[in-house]
């Protein structure tokens, strides 16, 4: 069984947390902090298994993690899971690769802004703490089909919202705040709601 | 309309969405909390709006905030609202939020039952999927109970996507609702051979989880798993199965033998490290389970160790780590094979990765022997010096102590060396484990009597150099060793070379800076030392020396009397007064040394840590009654039966000491001595020395250890353990040489410190004799210690409840509660939004199936022949269904057979199958043969037992139903109701059978024999829609209470021919009143594609939603089904016309009603009456009622003799009340309803129902 899946960045900011057992919000944050503490102080070239987070599980549980650029992917699993299998699940065939495919070169920003999508992808891979699917193509097919459905539901009504969000997602900070042509100074209106 | 939507969405698009929220939070780094609180206010506003899109957006944002640690449980109800949106987009958001923040104590969860059930049966597979995923996170016992049956139905869904999710979630359901395990297990087992690899993997996953906790119940699945293991190519599945076998082998060594070969093959062939590793792990488990030392398995061990070596040598730290982990498992049973890799493991101690170093340390623990202990510890000591970081150093320290002290110091041949190691360890700075070292010192000094002199000398040095240890005092854990040192010096002061010096060292003013408990020990032991010193000084003629010593005490002790620590203060003032008194006597020239010594006479013995716990309560002794009859106590103790008298060590006949007047303490001591004397664990030097011991408790009579090496007993500085290593080497060499010459063991024994000796190492192993024969005193245990192992399991472990025998045939009572809306009344709270129409059919199927399974078993004896035929038929169907090829056949068959045999033969047939399988040759190819043979063998018994089983049959359903009704949620209902329910259920079951025999479900054929025994004729709401030579359609219509304008038509399509049917399109000509709901974007005349294809002989169900405006009139819709018939060579386009008949009955929904509410309704006067008479109805009244309930969706409010009131409600909220009376063959029905047209039509339909029969 997988007890929890956590993604946080190099500073311990949670990017995704999925607990397959109930904890209060406070405990969850504490677990994330503790896990971050354990994981972040490890060197790059040491093994990816860690025994005994105090809060989660106990002696039967292991933390299995991988570190990519700015993100840590941590799975807390018990002894019924194969350590190497879970490592593979994180990287080689499944999780990160799927994210990569779905977001086209995934980076931390994708996870920050689309945590719901990451959850949806994860849901096709792990369910209730058990591995549901390990075939990346199958996962992507299902995720795509659901996204398509979402789009078709939005239909015509969704169009303006999409347009707005496209505008919102434009990289506004790059727009000059003031345009100076000779003496004429044009103040570009600040659009706080667009930011 | 469209414009309105667009306008609405334009308004909405300026709402903050999730991305805006995240962006906002990132832009407000400095006042994040404040920003978020304003956002939460916004969200609260959004949640108040009616627009579901706005709500969904808000919930989506809440999910994000939840991740950041904000409690969002206040929005639980809104989450439920979003979950129940009809749009997938919002539904998904709702379920995600629910899965993140719902838990068992979330009270709104109970509102979700029906919503989830509706989603589970949604025609859209992703609605179902999303519901399953969500449910897996927040399933509660109530949800599990109510939905278990629905989920079980989904396990046979046509889409593998749903199947795999449904299979997986069953594990959660089992955990929350253990009763569901047995009914669901057969189907779960079936899924192990699902054609879809995902489903198969899910089933393996679930069973592995189950089996891990209660392996013995799953042994019977071993053959099946074995087959999977040899056939599957999916590494995930293989790993799971192999792990499962690892859990099973300890229970069944024969299984292990069978496994070795295929596992070794896998080890050789696989390239996947993960699989290789798990194989090795399981082989290890197998080897452990087999009695070790079997010669033919040494190859496997070698293979494992060799593969593990490759892993450990790998540059990948992960492999290295796992290699070490697995190695430690081998170590337990085959230490020799691991010990040859000591080099590698010692190498790992230098690894930069702490986890790996710790693993290597663990391994070392098991690898030590008498031969290499010193060497290994020496290496470790080097690491201690090098280690940076106190945690690792502390770890090393504890490991060194663990290694040395394991199994009662088994591997230590030279205790002087060990003491020196301990003393060396005291030089560690900042360790937390000072107390550990201290307790080791105490333990060794107390239990190894021969070493006391040496230990005392060392401790005296330590005390002398205390200032070296106590650099920074209180914070320094190492000062704990001074506790031990002081105690040892005091207690065994007779061994002290220079007690006066030590006494002085103990009374230094600096001692006052030590922690209180240590000071207390100092003070107490100073007194002991004082006694010793006094004794030696009094012998002299000069009495001034003795007086000077007293003066020293009197001078120094006041320092301690002022101590803030109570303990120290008390002891110090006590002793001070004593010494003052002694001084007075000394001045009078009284010899008092004897008396002072008497204060500290006697020996302290170690007491086992569990001693107190192990004291048994003697049989017949009531601890409460004791006070009233005090005299009887001593008797009862003497009368203790020997049975409780189990000690860890075997004893010879034990003479009991029954000196009546002796004090308890003395008696015990004597007993202990006696016991030690008779204990074979102690090697006696000679019978005479044994006697010597008994008579003279002193050491003086025995020649003091003449160690054949010249270790200086007083080490001036701190000792170096290394010199002992060298000396030990020399000693061993010398010994070996001596040994060659002649046996000189006796001499050694003479040298030993005490008469009774414990030769900690019999000469066996490497011919290493301990440097001195040591007497390791065992810890004292109470007289009648119970050998209890304290492996109490966690009583809260949810898996405990899942320890269920799965091989027993299903009893009738063991059914999942089916909450079918037809008849089951609900708690009034849920009245409003109770039932939804969907998923009637699958539910029935599964009930039926379970029932049928049971029936099979019971009846099979009688009709074994018939049954056989059916089995075959069923079997064929299964094969077709699974498209699984012949490979599946034998196993399925054997399972079936074993089910058949189950009741008559008391022995479990599956187990015997297993026996058979296990006793077979271990070649995998034999498996199938074996099972078939087993099947053949199993076949005869049913006939033999046929006489008995059916007799009990008629009663069983009744009981079972009662039980079921009780177990179901609705047990609060009145007794009467229960009765009615019972009947209804019964009927329903019939209905299932019936339906399936014509509807052609997977198991349909098995029902042929059921009806005649049941009191009720079969009923089905499914009526024929249309039929031709290719296809047959039956349908049922149910209203949807949640939407007053919707009905759901369930159509079962059955392929009657032997060709493949595909591209089925279902179309209906809409009327003004009723319209088929088509997906967005399709025209009003487009057909709906039936979401499946039909292989020959298969049937499946599809649901179509219709909107109806008015429900007061029945109506008919014309429709057409078009489909393509595909043969091997040709495909033709066919069509089939049909007429859908929407009866008024189908708009009614079974709704429970309490009699008082019913009475109020009738009194209200809003209802208009009507009545009808039925003639010539000759059926029992309860049958009649059941029929009305079943076919016309009524529920019984009250029944008095031959009169009953019934109630139902239409989807648009019309109340329909019936009063049914019967006399003879005439039934009169008086009815009231707020819509007379509807009522008239309903009554007509009721009339028609009864005219048909």
B558 in the same domain as B478: yes
Residue pairs between chains A and B whose CB atoms are closer than 8 Å: 176
Number of domains in chain A: 1
Hey, what are B1061's tokens? 């049917």
Quick one: chain B helix, strand, coil %, rounded to 5? 60, 10, 30
* Position A177 pLDDT exceeds 70: no
Quick one: pLDDT at residue B249?
A: 85
Quick one: pLDDT at residue B817?
A: 65
* Residue A182, in any domain of the structure: no
Nearest residue in chain A measured CA to CA from B318: A47
Q: Which of these ranges, B466-470, B870-874, B939-943, has the smallest mean pLDDT?
A: B939-943
* Residue A185, in any domain of the structure: no
Note the Cα B691 to chain centre separation in Å. Answer: 56
Put simply, the answer to whether A47 touches B320 (Cβ < 8 Å) is yes
Q: Which of A114, A154, A168 sits opposite B20 (nearest CB)?
A: A168
* Residue A14, in any domain of the structure: yes
* Residue A40, in any domain of the structure: yes
B276 in the same domain as B265: yes
* Residue B28, in any domain of the structure: yes
**The residue to which tokens 């059914």 are assigned:** B815
Domain boundary among B239, B258, B290: B290
Which of B207, B355, B356 is the mutation pick for testing A, counting most A CBs within 10 A?
B355
- Please list every residue in chain A whose beta carbon sits closer than 8 Å to the beta carbon of residue B236: 85, 131, 134
Per residue in A21-38, is it b (16+ CB within 10 Å) or e — as a string? Answer: eebebeebbbbbeebbeb
Put simply, the answer to whether A132 touches B172 (Cβ < 8 Å) is no
Question: What Rg do the C-alpha atoms of chain A give, in angstroms?
Answer: 21
Q: How far is A185 from chain B (nearest CA, A)?
A: 27
* Residue A171, in any domain of the structure: no
Hey, what are A79's tokens? 């002894």
Q: Interface pTM (ipTM) of the complex?
A: 0.85
pLDDT tens-digit readout, A133-173: 888 888 999 999 998 888 888 765 556 666 666 665 555 44
B1106 in the same domain as B1043: yes
Quick one: pLDDT at residue B950?
A: 41
Q: Which residues lie across from B1217 on neighbouring strands?
A: B1207, B1232
* Residue A31, in any domain of the structure: yes
* Position B166 pLDDT exceeds 90: yes
* Residue B957, in any domain of the structure: no
**The residue to which tokens 């091997």 are assigned:** B1128
Residue B1135's Cβ-count burial label (10 Å; 0-12, 13-18, 19+) is: exposed
Note the Cα A36 to chain centre separation in Å. Answer: 15
pLDDT tens-digit readout, A8-61: 999 989 999 999 988 888 888 988 998 898 888 888 878 888 876 566 666 778
- Please list every residue in chain A whose beta carbon sits closer than 8 Å to the beta carbon of residue B274: 82-85, 87-88
Q: Which of these ranges, B296-300, B303-307, B902-906, has the smallest mean pLDDT?
A: B902-906
B1161 in the same domain as B1132: no
Quick one: pLDDT at residue B770?
A: 53
Instruction: Give the pLDDT mean for B375-386.
Output: 83
Q: DSSP class of residue A94?
A: S
Distance, first Cα to last Cα, chain A = 42
3-state secondary structure A53-73: CCCCCCCCCEEEEEEECCEEE
Measured between alpha carbons, how far is B847 from B855 in angstroms, rounded to an integer? 12
Nearest residue in chain B measured CA to CA from A65: B318
* Residue B131, in any domain of the structure: no
Instruction: Give the pLDDT mean for B685-697.
Output: 39
Put simply, the answer to whether A51 touches B133 (Cβ < 8 Å) is no
- Please list every residue in chain A whose beta carbon sits closer than 8 Å to the beta carbon of residue B154: none
B1088 in the same domain as B1037: yes
- Please list every residue in chain A whose beta carbon sits closer than 8 Å to the beta carbon of residue B20: 168
Measured between alpha carbons, how far is B788 from B330 in angstroms, rounded to an integer? 27
Cβ B589 vs Cβ B543: under 8 Å = yes
Q: Which of B103, B273, B320 sits opposite A84 (nearest CB)?
A: B273
Measured between alpha carbons, how far is A59 from B309 in angstroms, rounded to an integer? 26
Backbone angles phi, psi at B1129, to 5 degrees: -105, -25
Q: Which of B10, B92, B139 sits opposite A120 (nearest CB)?
A: B92
- Contacts of residue B679, defined as CB under 8 A and 6 or more positions apart, other chains included, come to B649, B651
B1076 in the same domain as B1171: no
Q: How far is B15 from chain A (nearest CA, A)?
A: 9
What percent of chain A has a predicted confidence (pLDDT) above 70? 74
* Residue B323, in any domain of the structure: no
Nearest residue in chain A measured CA to CA from B246: A80
Instruction: Give the pLDDT mean for B1198-1207.
Output: 83
Quick one: pLDDT at residue B1240?
A: 87
Nearest residue in chain B measured CA to CA from A162: B13
Cβ B489 vs Cβ B447: under 8 Å = no
3-state secondary structure B818-851: CCCCCCCCCCHHHCCCCCCCCCHHHHHHHHHHHH
Domain boundary among B1081, B1115, B1146: B1146
pLDDT tens-digit readout, B1095-1125: 787 777 788 888 888 888 888 888 888 888 8
Q: What is the band of A192 on the pLDDT scale with cuts at 50, 70, 90?
A: very low
Q: Which of B20, B208, B318 sits opposite A49 (nearest CB)?
A: B318
In this structure, is the dihedral angle defined by the CA atoms of residues B1164, B1168, B1172 and B1177, taken in order, positive or negative? negative
Put simply, the answer to whether B89 touches A82 (Cβ < 8 Å) is no
Per residue in B218-233, is it b (16+ CB within 10 Å) or e — as a string? Answer: bbbbbbbbbbbbeebe
CA-nearest of B1009, B1005, B989 to B997 is: B1005
Put simply, the answer to whether B67 touches A169 (Cβ < 8 Å) is no
Q: How far is A115 from chain B (nearest CA, A)?
A: 7
Between β-strands B1148-1149 and A2-9, what pairing exists: parallel, antiparallel or unpaired? unpaired
* Residue B436, in any domain of the structure: yes
Measured between alpha carbons, how far is B268 from B896 in angstroms, rounded to an integer? 36
Residue B115: HSE in the Cβ half-sphere, 13 Å Cα cutoff: 22
Q: What is the band of B1147 on the pLDDT scale with cuts at 50, 70, 90?
A: confident
Number of domains in chain B: 5
pLDDT tens-digit readout, B434-460: 888 888 888 888 888 888 888 988 888
- Please list every residue in chain B whose beta carbon sits closer than 8 Å to the beta carbon of residue A117: none
B1156 in the same domain as B1136: no
Put simply, the answer to whether A120 touches B6 (Cβ < 8 Å) is no
- Please list every residue in chain B whose beta carbon sits closer than 8 Å to the beta carbon of residue A152: 1080-1081
Q: How far is A41 from chain B (nearest CA, A)?
A: 12
Q: How far is CA B858 from CA B181, B279, B937, in A?
A: 21, 42, 19
Hey, what are B1245's tokens? 């339909």
- Please list every residue in chain B whose beta carbon sits closer than 8 Å to the beta carbon of residue A17: 67
Q: Which of A17, A132, A150 sits opposite B202 (nearest CB)?
A: A132
Q: DSSP class of residue B219?
A: G
Put simply, the answer to whether B273 touches A26 (Cβ < 8 Å) is no
Quick one: pLDDT at residue B897?
A: 38
Q: Which of B20, B168, B273 sits opposite A127 (nearest CB)?
A: B168
Measured between alpha carbons, how far is B1114 from B1105 in angstroms, rounded to an integer? 17
Instruction: Give the pLDDT mean for B212-227.
Output: 86
* Residue B406, in any domain of the structure: no
CA-nearest of A78, A82, A81, A50 to A63 is: A50
Between β-strands A126-127 and B1148-1149, what pairing exists: parallel, antiparallel or unpaired? unpaired
What percent of chain B has a predicted confidence (pLDDT) above 70? 66
Structural domain of A5? 1-82
Q: Which of B64, B273, B353 sits opposite A46 (nearest CB)?
A: B353
Nearest residue in chain A measured CA to CA from B203: A132
Domain boundary among B1146, B1173, B1208: B1146
* CATH code of the domain covering residue A8: 3.30.450.60
pLDDT tens-digit readout, B1023-1047: 888 888 888 888 888 777 667 778 8
CA-nearest of B373, B339, B363, B342 to B760 is: B373
* Residue A129, in any domain of the structure: no
Hey, what are B343's tokens? 């080099």
pLDDT tens-digit readout, B509-561: 888 888 888 889 999 998 888 888 888 887 776 678 888 888 888 888 888 88
Put simply, the answer to whether B19 touches A169 (Cβ < 8 Å) is yes
Q: Which of B66, B274, B317 sits opposite A47 (nearest CB)?
A: B317
Quick one: pLDDT at residue B926?
A: 40
Rounded to the nearest integer, the mean pLDDT of chain B is 72
Backbone angles phi, psi at B99, to 5 degrees: -65, -25
B1122 in the same domain as B1185: no
**The residue to which tokens 């399925």 are assigned:** B892
CA-nearest of B952, B1016, B1008 to B985 is: B1016
pLDDT tens-digit readout, B391-437: 778 888 888 888 888 877 888 888 888 888 888 888 776 677 788 88
* CATH code of the domain covering residue B1171: 3.30.310.10
B235 in the same domain as B280: yes
Give the relative orientation of helices A83-90 and B273-289 as an angle to the nearest 10 degrees: 160
Q: What does B1162-1200 look like in DSSP terms, one character per residue?
A: HHTS--EEEEEEE-S--S-HHHHHHHHHHHH--EEEEEE
* Position B284 pLDDT exceeds 50: yes
Nearest residue in chain A measured CA to CA from B130: A123
* Residue A192, in any domain of the structure: no
Q: What is the band of B613 on the pLDDT scale with cuts at 50, 70, 90?
A: confident
Which of B25, B62, B79, B161 is the mutation pick for testing A, counting most A CBs within 10 A?
B161
- Please list every residue in chain B whose beta carbon sits closer than 8 Å to the beta carbon of residue A1: 209
Put simply, the answer to whether B322 touches A116 (Cβ < 8 Å) is no
Quick one: pLDDT at residue B93?
A: 92
Q: How far is A163 from chain B (nearest CA, A)?
A: 9
Put simply, the answer to whether A82 touches B93 (Cβ < 8 Å) is no
Measured between alpha carbons, how far is B992 from B921 in angstroms, rounded to an integer? 45
Cβ B153 vs Cβ B185: under 8 Å = no
Structural domain of B93? 1-101
Q: What is the band of B94 on the pLDDT scale with cuts at 50, 70, 90?
A: very high
Which of A85, A141, A149 is the mutation pick for testing B, counting most B CBs within 10 A?
A85
Cβ B611 vs Cβ B779: under 8 Å = yes
Put simply, the answer to whether B19 touches A51 (Cβ < 8 Å) is no
Put simply, the answer to whether A46 touches B8 (Cβ < 8 Å) is no
3-state secondary structure B726-748: HHHHHHHHHHHHHHHHCCCHHHH
B94 in the same domain as B232: no
Quick one: pLDDT at residue B673?
A: 64
- Contacts of residue B517, defined as CB under 8 A and 6 or more positions apart, other chains included, come to B483, B565, B567
Hey, what are B875's tokens? 């079997």
Put simply, the answer to whether A120 touches B96 (Cβ < 8 Å) is yes
Instruction: List helix spans (H) across A49-135.
Output: 83-90, 95-103, 108-113, 115-125
Query: pTM of the prediction?
Result: 0.55
Residue B1043's Cβ-count burial label (10 Å; 0-12, 13-18, 19+) is: middle
Q: What is the band of B475 on the pLDDT scale with cuts at 50, 70, 90?
A: low
Q: Which own/partner pairs from A30-35 qualify as long-range (CB within 8 Å, at least 24 positions apart)? A: A30/A55, A31/A4, A31/A6, A31/A55, A31/A56, A32/A6, A32/A8, A35/A6, A35/A8, A35/A63, A35/A74, A35/A76
Q: What is the largest distance, in Å, between two alpha-carbon atoms of chain A? A: 73
Cβ B255 vs Cβ B249: under 8 Å = yes
- Please list every residue in chain B whose beta carbon sits closer than 8 Å to the beta carbon of residue A119: 63, 96
Q: How far is A151 from chain B (nearest CA, A)?
A: 9
- Please list every residue in chain B whose beta carbon sits closer than 8 Å to the beta carbon of residue A82: 239, 243, 274, 277-278
B573 in the same domain as B452: yes
B1221 in the same domain as B1136: no
- Please list every residue in chain A whose beta carbon sits closer than 8 Å to the beta carbon of residue B165: 127, 132
* Residue B380, in any domain of the structure: no
Measured between alpha carbons, how far is B138 from B134 in angstroms, rounded to an integer? 7
Note the Cα B835 to chain centre separation in Å. Answer: 35
Quick one: pLDDT at residue B298?
A: 75
- Please list every residue in chain A whose beta carbon sits closer than 8 Å to the beta carbon of residue B212: 80
* Residue B686, in any domain of the structure: no
Q: What is the band of B97 on the pLDDT scale with cuts at 50, 70, 90?
A: very high
């Amino acid at each position: 069984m997988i007890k929890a899946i956590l993604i946080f960045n190099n500073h311990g900011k949670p990017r995704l947390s999925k607990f397959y057992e109930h904890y209060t919000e406070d405990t969850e944050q504490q677990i994330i902090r503790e896990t971050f503490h354990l994981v972040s102080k490890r060197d790059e070239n040491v093994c990816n298994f860690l025994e005994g987070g105090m809060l989660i599980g106990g002696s039967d549980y292991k933390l299995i993690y991988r570190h990519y650029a700015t993100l840590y992917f941590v799975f807390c699993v018990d002894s019924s899971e194969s350590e190497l299998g879970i490592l593979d699940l994180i990287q080689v065939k499944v999780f990160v690769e799927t994210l990569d495919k779905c977001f086209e070169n995934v980076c931390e920003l994708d996870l920050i802004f689309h945590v719901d999508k990451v959850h949806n992808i994860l849901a096709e891979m792990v369910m209730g703490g058990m591995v549901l699917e390990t075939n990346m193509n199958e996962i992507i097919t299902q995720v795509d089909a659901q996204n398509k459905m979402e789009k078709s539901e939005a239909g015509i009504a969704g169009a303006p919202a999409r347009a707005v969000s496209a505008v919102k997602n434009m990289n506004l900070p790059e727009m000059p705040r003031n345009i100076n042509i000779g003496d004429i100074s044009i103040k570009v209106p600040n659009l706080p709601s667009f930011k | 309309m469209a414009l309105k939507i667009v306008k609405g969405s334009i308004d909405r698009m300026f709402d903050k969405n999730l991305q805006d929220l995240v962006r906002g939070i990132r832009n407000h780094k400095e006042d994040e909390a404040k920003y978020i609180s304003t956002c939460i206010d916004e969200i609260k506003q959004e949640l108040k709006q009616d627009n579901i899109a706005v709500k969904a957006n808000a919930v989506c944002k809440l999910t994000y905030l939840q991740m950041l640690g904000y409690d969002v449980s206040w929005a639980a109800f809104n989450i439920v609202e979003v979950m129940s949106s009809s749009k997938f987009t919002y539904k998904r958001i709702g379920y995600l939020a629910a899965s993140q923040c719902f838990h068992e104590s979330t009270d709104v969860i109970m509102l979700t039952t029906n919503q989830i059930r509706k989603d589970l049966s949604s025609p859209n597979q992703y609605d179902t999927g999303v519901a399953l995923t969500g449910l897996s996170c927040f399933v509660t016992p109530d949800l599990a109970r109510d939905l278990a049956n629905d989920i079980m139905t989904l396990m046979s869904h046509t889409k593998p996507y749903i199947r795999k999710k449904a299979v997986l979630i069953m594990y959660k359901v089992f955990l929350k609702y253990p009763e569901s395990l047995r009914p669901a297990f057969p189907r779960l087992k079936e899924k192990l051979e699902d054609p879809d690899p995902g489903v198969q993997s899910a089933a393996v996953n679930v069973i592995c989880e189950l089996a891990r906790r209660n392996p013995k119940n799953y042994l019977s699945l071993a053959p099946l798993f074995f087959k999977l293991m040899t056939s599957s190519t999916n590494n995930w599945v293989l790993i799971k199965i192999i792990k499962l076998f690892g859990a099973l082998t300890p229970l069944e060594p024969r299984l292990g033998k069978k496994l070795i070969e295929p596992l070794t093959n896998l080890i050789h062939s696989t390239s996947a490290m993960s699989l290789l590793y798990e194989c090795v792990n399981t082989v290890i488990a197998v080897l452990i389970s087999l009695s070790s030392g079997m010669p033919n398995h040494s190859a496997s061990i070698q293979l494992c160790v060799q593969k593990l070596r490759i892993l450990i040598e790998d540059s990948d730290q992960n492999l290295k780590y796992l290699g070490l982990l697995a190695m430690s498992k081998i170590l337990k049973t085959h230490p020799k094979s691991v010990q040859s890799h000591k080099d590698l493991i010692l190498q790992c101690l230098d690894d930069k990765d702490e986890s790996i170093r710790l693993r290597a340390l663990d391994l070392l623990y098991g690898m030590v022997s008498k031969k290499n202990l010193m060497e290994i510890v020496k290496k470790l000591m080097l690491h201690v010096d090098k280690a940076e970081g106190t945690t690792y150093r502390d770890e090393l320290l504890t490991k060194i102590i663990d290694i040395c002290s394991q199994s009662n110091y088994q591997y230590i041949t030279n205790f002087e060396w060990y003491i020196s190691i301990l003393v060396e360890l005291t030089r560690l700075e900042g360790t937390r484990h000072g107390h550990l070292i201290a307790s080791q010192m105490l333990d060794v000094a107390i239990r190894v009597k021969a070493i006391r002199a040496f230990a005392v000398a060392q401790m005296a040095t330590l005390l002398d150099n205390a200032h070296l240890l106590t650099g920074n005092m209180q914070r320094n854990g190492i000062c704990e060793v001074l506790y031990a040192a002081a105690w040892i010096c005091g207690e065994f002061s007779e061994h002290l070379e220079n007690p006066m010096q030590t006494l002085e060292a103990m009374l230094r003013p600096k001692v006052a800076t030590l922690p209180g408990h240590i000071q207390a020990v100092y003070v107490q032991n100073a007194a002991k030392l004082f006694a010793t010193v006094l004794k030696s000084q009094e012998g002299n003629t000069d009495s001034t020396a003795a007086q000077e010593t007293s003066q020293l005490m009197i001078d120094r002790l006041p320092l301690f009397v002022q101590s803030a620590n109570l303990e120290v203060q008390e002891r110090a003032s006590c002793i001070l007064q004593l010494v003052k008194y002694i001084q007075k006597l000394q001045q009078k020239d009284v010899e008092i040394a004897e008396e002072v010594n008497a204060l500290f006479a006697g020996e302290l013995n170690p007491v086992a840590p569990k001693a107190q716990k192990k004291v048994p309560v003697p049989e017949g002794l009531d601890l409460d009654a004791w006070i009233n009859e005090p005299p009887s106590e001593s008797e009862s103790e003497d009368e203790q039966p020997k049975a409780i008298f189990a000690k860890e060590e075997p004893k010879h006949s034990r003479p009991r000491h029954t000196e009546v007047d002796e004090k308890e303490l003395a008696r015990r001591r004597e007993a202990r001595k006696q016991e030690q004397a008779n204990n074979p664990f102690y090697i006696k030097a000679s019978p005479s020395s044994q006697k010597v011991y008994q008579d003279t408790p002193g050491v003086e009579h025995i020649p003091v250890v003449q160690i054949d090496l010249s270790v200086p007993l007083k080490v001036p500085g701190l000792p170096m353990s290394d010199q002992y290593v060298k000396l030990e080497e020399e000693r061993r060499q010398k010994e070996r040489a001596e040994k060659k010459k002649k046996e000189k063991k006796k001499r050694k024994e003479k040298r030993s410190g005490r008469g009774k000796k414990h030769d900690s190492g019999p000469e066996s192993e490497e011919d290493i004799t301990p440097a001195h024969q040591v007497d390791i005193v065992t810890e004292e245990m109470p007289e009648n210690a119970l050998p209890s192992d304290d492996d109490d399991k966690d009583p809260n472990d949810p898996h405990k409840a899942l320890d269920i025998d799965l091989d027993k045939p299903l009893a009738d009572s063991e059914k999942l509660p089916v909450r079918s809306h037809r008849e089951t009344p609900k708690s009034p709270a849920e009245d409003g939004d109770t039932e939804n129409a969907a998923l009637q059919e699958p539910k029935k199927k599964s009930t039926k199936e379970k029932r049928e399974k049971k029936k099979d078993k019971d009846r099979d004896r009688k009709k074994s022949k018939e049954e056989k035929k059916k089995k075959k038929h069923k079997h064929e169907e299964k094969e077709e269904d699974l498209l699984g090829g012949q490979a599946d056949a034998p196993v399925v068959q054997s399972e079936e057979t074993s089910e058949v045999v189950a009741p008559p033969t008391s022995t479990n047939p599956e187990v015997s199958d297993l026996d058979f399988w296990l006793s077979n040759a271990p070649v995998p190819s034999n498996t199938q043969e074996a099972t078939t043979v087993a099947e053949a063998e199993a076949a005869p018994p049913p006939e033999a037992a046929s006489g008995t089983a059916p007799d009990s049959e008629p009663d069983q359903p009744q009981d079972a139903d009662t039980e079921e009704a009780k177990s179901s949620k609705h047990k609060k209902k009145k007794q009467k109701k229960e009765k009615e329910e019972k009947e209804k259920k019964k009927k329903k079951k019939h209905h299932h059978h019936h339906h399936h025999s014509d509807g052609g479900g997977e198991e349909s054929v098995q029902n042929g024999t059921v009806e005649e025994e049941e009191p009720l004729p079969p009923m089905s709401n499914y009526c024929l829609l249309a039929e031709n030579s290719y296809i047959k359609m039956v349908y049922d219509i149910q209203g949807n209470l949640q939407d007053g304008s919707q009905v759901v038509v369930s159509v079962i399509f059955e392929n009657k021919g032997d060709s493949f049917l595909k591209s089925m399109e279902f179309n209906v000509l809409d009327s003004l009143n009723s319209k088929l709901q088509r997906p967005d974007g399709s025209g009003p005349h487009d057909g709906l594609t039936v979401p499946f294809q039909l292989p020959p002989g298969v049937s499946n169900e599809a649901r179509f939603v219709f909107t109806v405006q008015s429900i007061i009139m029945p109506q008919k819709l014309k429709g057409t089904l078009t489909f393509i018939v595909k043969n091997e060579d040709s495909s033709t386009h066919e069509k089939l016309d049909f007429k859908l008949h929407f009866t008024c009955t189908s708009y009614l929904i079974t709704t429970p009603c309490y009699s008082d509410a019913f009475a109020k309704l009738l009194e209200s006067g809003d209802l208009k009456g009507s009545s009808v008479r039925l003639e010539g109805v000759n059926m029992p009244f309860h049958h009649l009622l059941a029929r009305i309930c079943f076919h016309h969706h009524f529920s019984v409010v009250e029944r008095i003799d031959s009169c009953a009131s019934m109630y139902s409600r239409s989807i648009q909220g019309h109340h329909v009340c019936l009063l049914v009376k019967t006399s003879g063959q005439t039934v009169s029905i008086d009815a009231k309803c707020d819509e007379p047209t509807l009522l008239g039509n309903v009554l007509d339909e009721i009339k028609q129902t009864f005219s048909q029969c």
